[in-house]
Amino acid sequence: MDRRTSASSLLALEAAQGFCQQLGALWFNGGLEANKAASLLTATPLLKKLLQPIAGSDSEIEVSAYCLSTPLLNAYSELSQLGEWQLALLGLNPEVREHWLNLAAARCREAGAMSAPQVLVKLIQQLGNASGWVLAELENTAVTPQIIAGPLAQLERDLLGHSLNENAAIPALCRILRACFMLYNLSEQAEALAPIQPVDVTTKQLANNWCRGRLLALPESLLNEYNLKGAINPNTDWLLVPHPASGAKNTNIQLMGLLAEQPWLFLLSLLSFVQDAWAAEQRGGLLLTLPAGQNAFAPSQVNVAVQGIDGDEVSLGSLATFLVQLLSELNIALYPVRTNSPENIQRLNRALIPLIAELLLKKIWQFTEVGCGEPSHYRIHPDFSDACYSLPLAPLFGYKSQHLQQAIKQLAQTSYANARSVSAANRINR
């Protein structure tokens, strides 16, 4: 099936509805089995460059599934609802997109005829880089732009509440075309992503779990906020997903299972391990501090700072801010939505509260109240620190997580150096 034939088939309402249903399943599970994704990739070949393949466990099966990727998650964050995201991916097909470009061109021509030029300016701003597509449509003398319902008007109403030719849909039309243009450009320029391994909850292949291209589900309490209808169900074979907390006592073997099943607890325990190892070098270090007046077991925000060799400190912001930056450096995307807006960072900070309480209760972290004007702080619990250098935890906090440890320290050191450079430049400018 060539591109033109596949595009034409998607213009049929039933085919487009099936396409969007598969996209919905992709979104709610974080991925699709390869055989279920096949129809998406046949209809829209560009999608293959935007999806993260999961390697097959059988050597004869090259790819067993396809997962969401950072560009697809970023596109969702730029849109107002799932329906817009589905249509933006549907629009990667040029013949499907053609009618929407015709609508946008007609809207621009309509706005250009008005006495208020700011209307056209605002419309172009809303279209973003997709305005280049719309300009080409306006320059095409063989086509007269018209504001009419298209062949997928019913699908548009089902997904958005109105068809894209209606006045109320103008902002959605612009957002969809803007997101579609961004994804189209990325898919045209990029190579297909290399397959990554399925998730292994035994910790035997930990490095494969925390690899580039992986999705990390939000902490359980925050994931539930995005899951009010119970539809989001991230696949545990492909995504790093928090499992229900076990009531195990604090023995090393039970801790192994806990850290394997709770990726956020493992990441936070590794952060304190790096902090402890760095402090042992006596060449500066990482600080996890608690503002005065807060409950150590329920902090609204833990702050992260780097201390230089001479004792000077540079703030790196909240714990959530640091973790989001770390995951970005590792090219591990948060599912189902990115959290780099101030509001979502605060939500993530709140979602970390029960995890911090569990770290303290299981004696993985320890809280020290300093007083005398000095901020209280969290560090690794001495018992857990000793356990990290003994079997069975030693490999987990040794060679299996070395790349994660290096990423934590490098991010802290780079942020510290950048802050010092900015401070020095400001002093010179004064």
- Could you write out the DSSP letters of every residue in 373-391? TBPEEEEE-HHHHHHHTST
CA distances from 234 to 66, 114, 224, 228, 239 (A): 13, 48, 12, 14, 7
The reply to whether 114 and 213 lie within a common domain is no
Strand pairing partners for 318?
303
What is the pTM for the complete model shown?
A: 0.92
The reply to whether 137 and 7 lie within a common domain is yes
What distance lies between CA 306 and its chain's CA centroid? 26
The reply to whether 125 and 10 lie within a common domain is yes
**What's 151's DSSP letter?**
T
Q: Give a yes or no: residue 201 inside a domain.
A: no
Q: Give a yes or no: residue 77 inside a domain.
A: yes
Last residue of a domain, one of 142, 162, 189: 189
Q: What is the pLDDT of residue 6?
A: 45
Last residue of a domain, one of 189, 214, 235: 189
The reply to whether 182 and 244 lie within a common domain is no
Q: What is the pLDDT of residue 1?
A: 36
Per DSSP bridges, beta strands 303-307 and 313-318 are antiparallel
Contact call for residues 359 and 269 (beta carbons, < 8 A): yes
The reply to whether 266 and 393 lie within a common domain is yes
The reply to whether 164 and 84 lie within a common domain is yes
Which two three-digit tokens encode residue 360?
């303290």
**What's 217's DSSP letter?**
E
Q: What span, in angstroms and rounded, lies between the C-alpha atoms of 209 and 283?
A: 31
- 213: phi > 0 → left, psi -120 to 50 → alpha, else beta; which? left
Ordered per-residue pLDDT tens for the chain, 430 residues: 344 444 455 778 999 999 999 999 999 999 999 999 999 999 999 999 999 999 997 777 899 999 999 999 999 999 989 999 999 999 999 999 999 999 999 999 999 998 888 999 999 999 999 999 999 999 987 888 999 999 999 999 999 999 999 999 999 999 999 999 999 999 999 899 999 999 998 878 888 899 999 999 999 989 988 876 678 999 999 999 987 655 555 688 788 888 988 999 999 999 999 999 999 998 889 999 998 889 999 999 999 999 998 889 999 999 999 999 999 999 999 999 888 889 999 999 999 999 999 999 999 999 998 877 678 999 999 999 999 999 999 999 999 999 999 999 999 999 999 988 877 666 676 6
**Angle, vertex CA 234, rays to CA 238 and CA 329, nearest 5:** 60
Q: Give a yes or no: residue 194 inside a domain.
A: no
The reply to whether 149 and 234 lie within a common domain is no
The reply to whether 149 and 11 lie within a common domain is yes
Domain that holds residue 175: 3-189
The reply to whether 226 and 318 lie within a common domain is yes
Reduce the DSSP state of residue 14 to 3 states and report it: helix
Contact call for residues 236 and 199 (beta carbons, < 8 A): yes
Q: Give a yes or no: residue 198 inside a domain.
A: no
Last residue of a domain, one of 160, 189, 218: 189
The reply to whether 246 and 169 lie within a common domain is no
Q: Give a yes or no: residue 429 inside a domain.
A: no
| Count: domains in the chain | 2
The reply to whether 383 and 342 lie within a common domain is yes
The reply to whether 50 and 164 lie within a common domain is yes
